[in-house]
């Protein structure tokens, strides 16, 4: 703004220092404005207002800032196998519309394949039924009214992957993995059973019963407990005693004692007769 022989430019902070009057003396009637270091954000509507007594006049103008393409990137979409359809993509991250894209081949015949389909507005190049001859370097140029930008991509068409071999290898690998897993589980269970058995055997040995008493001490104990009934035995009263079954003796050790000499098995009468000869003190 110019008024009373002074210029003011602090009304728009984002444009401070980038705007100035073209004429050094705007009061002469030239209010043209220069914008330095133009930016895309400067796009908009501008108004020029001239006030001079006795009236005021104004005029509006639309400014569109054009930005040339920049940061253009190329990529490949789809499988790069023989017989497949593959798409080459080209996108510019910056640039004012309307953007236009163009593809060209920079290796080999330098001509696009006969089956290719180009979309200039989206930057996509479709290659149908790709063959090995389609391999090479492709270049994309993005352009608008104020500039251009470009990028390149390498296309390598290869034979189809042997899917049958991959599936077979995956199956074999899975079976081997299951076998190893089962082997580990089997060894673990076997080791666990062995440890459990060792613990049980060790426990049985610690809990073993004491050894049996000797036959002579068992016999004396039995005879001492029954001395009131036996007394001094004579042949006259031995007959009644022999009728008592010897198997009723309560000591288990005493019953099994004769088994130590299987060649000699005395009768019940002989055992009773020998007991009768023992003097109980």
| Same domain flag for 47 and 120 | no
Residue 79 has pLDDT above 50, yes or no: yes
| Same domain flag for 45 and 105 | no
Range of the domain at 233: 215-276
Q: Which of 155, 189, 207 is the last residue before a domain boundary? A: 155
Q: Confidence band (pLDDT; 50, 70, 90) for 147?
A: very high
Q: Which of 45, 63, 81 is the last residue before a domain boundary? A: 63
Q: Are 80 and 156 in contact (CB under 8 A)?
A: yes
CATH code at 45? 2.60.40.10
User: What does the pLDDT read at residue 53?
Assistant: 81
| Same domain flag for 54 and 110 | no
In the chain, % of residues over pLDDT 70: 68
| Same domain flag for 76 and 143 | yes
**Token representation of residue 153:** 């991509």
Q: Is residue 167 part of a domain?
A: no
| Same domain flag for 142 and 86 | yes
Q: Is residue 86 part of a domain?
A: yes
Q: Which of 155, 173, 204 is the last residue before a domain boundary? A: 155
Q: Is residue 56 part of a domain?
A: yes
| Same domain flag for 9 and 30 | yes
43-66 pLDDT, tens digit each: 999 998 888 888 899 999 999 999
User: What does the pLDDT read at residue 92?
Assistant: 96
Residue 144 has pLDDT above 70, yes or no: yes
Q: Is residue 199 part of a domain?
A: no
Average the pLDDT over each of 39-43, 75-79, 209-213 and give the range with the smallest value: 209-213
Indicate the number of domains in the chain.
Answer: 3
| Same domain flag for 219 and 241 | yes
189-205 pLDDT, tens digit each: 888 787 777 766 655 55
Residue pointed to by tokens 């015949």: 109
Q: Is residue 106 part of a domain?
A: yes
User: What does the pLDDT read at residue 247?
Assistant: 47
Q: Are 133 and 104 in contact (CB under 8 A)?
A: no
| Same domain flag for 58 and 99 | no
User: What does the pLDDT read at residue 253?
Assistant: 45
| Same domain flag for 85 and 59 | no
148-179 pLDDT, tens digit each: 999 999 999 999 876 666 677 788 888 888 88
**What pTM was computed for the model?**
0.49
Give the pLDDT mean for 93-116: 90
Q: Is residue 193 part of a domain?
A: no
Q: Is residue 169 part of a domain?
A: no
Average the pLDDT over each of 42-56, 72-86, 200-214, 243-257 and give the range with the smallest value: 243-257
Q: Is residue 221 part of a domain?
A: yes
> Higher pLDDT residue, 205 or 182?
182
| Same domain flag for 8 and 80 | no
Residue 90 has pLDDT above 70, yes or no: yes
| Same domain flag for 88 and 42 | no
| Same domain flag for 219 and 254 | yes
Mean pLDDT of the chain, nearest integer: 77
């Amino acid at each position: 703004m110019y008024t009373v022989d002074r210029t003011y430019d602090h009304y728009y902070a984002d444009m401070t220092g980038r705007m100035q009057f073209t004429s050094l003396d705007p009061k002469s009637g030239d209010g043209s404005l220069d914008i330095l270091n133009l930016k895309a954000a400067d796009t908009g509507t501008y108004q020029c207002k001239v006030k001079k007594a006795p009236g005021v006049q104004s005029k509006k103008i639309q400014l569109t800032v054009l930005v040339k393409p920049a940061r253009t990137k190329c990529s490949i979409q789809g499988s790069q196998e023989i017989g497949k359809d593959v798409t080459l993509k080209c996108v510019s991250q910056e640039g004012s519309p309307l953007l236009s894209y163009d593809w060209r081949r920079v290796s080999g015949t330098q001509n696009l394949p006969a089956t290719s389909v180009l979309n200039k507005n989206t930057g996509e190049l479709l290659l149908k039924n790709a063959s090995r001859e389609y391999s090479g370097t492709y270049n994309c140029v993005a352009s608008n009214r104020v500039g251009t930008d470009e990028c390149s991509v390498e296309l390598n068409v290869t034979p189809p992957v042997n899917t049958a071999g991959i599936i077979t290898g995956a199956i074999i690998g899975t079976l081997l993995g299951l076998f190893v897993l089962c082997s580990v589980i089997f060894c673990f269970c076997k080791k666990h059973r062995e440890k459990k058995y060792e613990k049980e055997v060790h426990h049985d040995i610690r809990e073993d019963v004491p050894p049996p008493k000797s036959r002579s001490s068992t016999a004396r104990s039995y005879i001492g407990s029954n001395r009131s009934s036996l007394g001094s035995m004579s042949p006259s009263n031995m007959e009644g005693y022999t009728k008592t079954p010897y198997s009723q003796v309560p000591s288990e050790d005493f019953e099994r004692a004769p088994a130590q000499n299987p060649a000699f098995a005395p009768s019940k009468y002989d055992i009773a007769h020998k007991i009768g000869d023992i003097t109980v003190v």
